[in-house]
């Protein structure tokens, strides 16, 4: 039957027979649920012939690199090379304001780094890695009809897939996509069986281009990234403390490239405006600004919660004197602001 234990056993068999006993496999970890579960699964099948890379592009959240590396190493024992490419990314993004251009630059830089990683490995191993693991999910690959023999009968709308399709053409890596018949909740279940920590499996989705699409305009302006990290951390931590994190699809802060007048202490200030956004969603295709009615219990941000968050941010994050809340759904907005 279609139990996750069976899926796991089956996948491990398939991976073992596909990869054989000689070949090496590479995987780019994003810090998200999908790539982590995919890598953990492949690691279980082929052990040390899996080589993962995690790229710090300078666009990550507060302490993200430290947090995910700790999970990879201590909890999952995954072999991960961590590359700090902050300067490389930020220098290429300097002065760029167009959202699609930002995405293209980030995609290209990522490929360069990935390429270098593969070449280094080739030197070290004396042979090329042959396979690439990707955490592609079922909704990412299917338009309207499931593949024959997949056992799936649903039709599911396609989600534009941001993470596939941008790999170096000359690399000729064969793909391993162990999650490609699964939905998100099934991937979480698989992760649970693989002992991926529960807190990790419940992480909100985070876009590949990272904070670049949450700092409107030039990501290198002033200390925008630093401000955004601090604000986002306070918002997310408050949401967790209030027990609301798991009722939300995604919550985050957005840095706006505008200043407004404020008064802090006896000082007139002319500082930044930051927006807070939280949404509920099934698959990211559509979304509602946050409030969730689940079994007749309504979860939402109370006045006091928002008031505390707002005060905490303005009191502790230098350069911010105004907080606004995003109260639009998708459509007409998108989840991200860029």
Q: Which residue, 94 or 162, has its beta carbon nearer to ligand XMP?
A: 162
- Tell whether residue 108 is a contact of ligand XMP (CB under 6 A): no
Beta strand 267-280 with 250-264 is antiparallel
Q: Which is nearer to ligand XMP, 211 or 317 (CB)?
A: 211
Choose between 31 and 207: whose C-beta lies nearer to ligand XMP: 207
Whole-number minimum distance, CB 325 to ligand XMP, in Å? 17
Q: Nearest to residue 61, comparing CAs of 227, 283, 185?
A: 227
For residue 47 the two structure tokens come to 């052990």
Q: Residue 28 interacts with ligand XMP (CB under 6 A)?
A: no
Relative orientation angle of helices 224-241 and 303-316, to the nearest 10 degrees: 150
**Does 3 sit near ligand XMP (CB under 6 A)?**
no
Q: Is 209 in the site for ligand XMP (CB under 6 A)?
A: yes
Task: Candidates 134, 284, 290, 309: give the one binding ligand XMP (CB under 6 A).
Answer: 284
The Cα 314–Cα 301 span in angstroms is 18
> By C-beta, is 155 or 334 nearer to ligand XMP?
334
CB of residue 266 vs ligand XMP: minimum separation in angstroms? 41
Residue 52 near residue 80 (C-beta atoms within 8 A): yes
Q: What's the residue count for the chain?
A: 338
Among 119, 124, 162, 318, binds ligand XMP (CB under 6 A): 162
Q: Give whichever of 277 and 322 is closer to ligand XMP, judged by the CB atom.
A: 277
Q: Cα–Cα distance between 99 and 76 in angstroms, integer?
A: 35
Q: Which two tokens stand for residue 108?
A: 């290209």
Is residue 147 near ligand XMP by the rule CB under 6 A? no
C-alpha closest to that of 156 among 9, 71, 320, 282: 282
263 is in an annotated binding site: no
H helix or E strand, kind and range, residue 28: strand 25-29
* 238 token code pair: 């408050």
- Say which DSSP state 203 is in: P
Q: Is position 139 an interface residue for ligand XMP (rule: CB under 6 A)?
A: no
**Binding test (CB under 6 A) with ligand XMP, winner from 208, 257, 262, 319:** 208
User: What distance in Å separates the CA atoms of residue 249 and residue 286, rounded to the nearest whole number?
Assistant: 11
| Contact pick of 7, 15, 215, 335 for ligand XMP (by CB under 6 A) | 335
Q: Which residues are annotated as a binding site?
A: 30-36
Residues in touch with ligand XMP (CB under 6 A): 103, 162-163, 205, 207-209, 250, 284, 330, 334-336
Q: Which residues are annotated as a binding site for ATP?
A: 30-36
């Amino acid at each position: 039957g279609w139990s996750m234990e069976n899926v796991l056993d089956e996948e491990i068999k398939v991976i073992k027979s596909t990869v054989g006993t000689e070949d090496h496999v590479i995987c780019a970890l994003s810090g998200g649920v999908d790539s982590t579960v995919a890598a953990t699964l492949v690691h279980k099948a082929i052990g040390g012939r899996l080589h993962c890379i995690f790229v710090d592009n300078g666009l990550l959240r507060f302490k993200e690199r430290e947090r995910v590396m700790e999970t990879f190493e201590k909890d999952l024992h995954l072999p991960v090379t961590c590359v700090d490419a902050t300067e490389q990314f930020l220098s290429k993004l300097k002065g760029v304001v167009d959202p699609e251009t930002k995405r293209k630059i980030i995609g290209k830089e990522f490929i360069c780094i990935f390429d270098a990683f593969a070449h280094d490995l080739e030197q070290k191993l004396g042979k090329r890695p042959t396979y690439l693991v990707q955490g592609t999910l079922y909704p990412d690959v299917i338009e309207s009809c499931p593949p024959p023999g997949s056992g799936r009968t649903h039709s599911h709308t396609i989600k534009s897939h941001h993470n596939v399709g941008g790999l170096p053409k000359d690399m000729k890596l064969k793909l391993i996509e162990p999650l490609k018949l699964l939905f998100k909740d099934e991937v979480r279940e698989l992760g649970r069986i693989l002992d991926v920590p529960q807190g990790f499996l419940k992480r909100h989705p985070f876009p590949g281009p990272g904070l670049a699409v949450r700092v409107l305009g030039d990501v290198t302006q002033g200390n925008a990234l630093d401000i955004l990290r601090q604000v986002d951390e306070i918002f997310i931590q408050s949401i967790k403390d209030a027990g609301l994190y798991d009722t939300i699809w995604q919550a985050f802060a957005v840095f706006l490239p505008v200043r407004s007048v404020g008064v802090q202490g006896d000082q007139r200030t002319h500082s930044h405006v930051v927006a807070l956004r939280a949404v509920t969603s099934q698959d990211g295709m559509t979304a509602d600004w946050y409030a969730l009615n689940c079994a007749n219990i309504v979860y939402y941000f109370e006045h006091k919660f928002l008031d505390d968050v707002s005060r905490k941010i303005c009191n502790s994050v230098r350069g911010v004197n105004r907080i606004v809340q995003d109260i639009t759904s998708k459509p007409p907005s998108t989840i991200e602001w860029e």
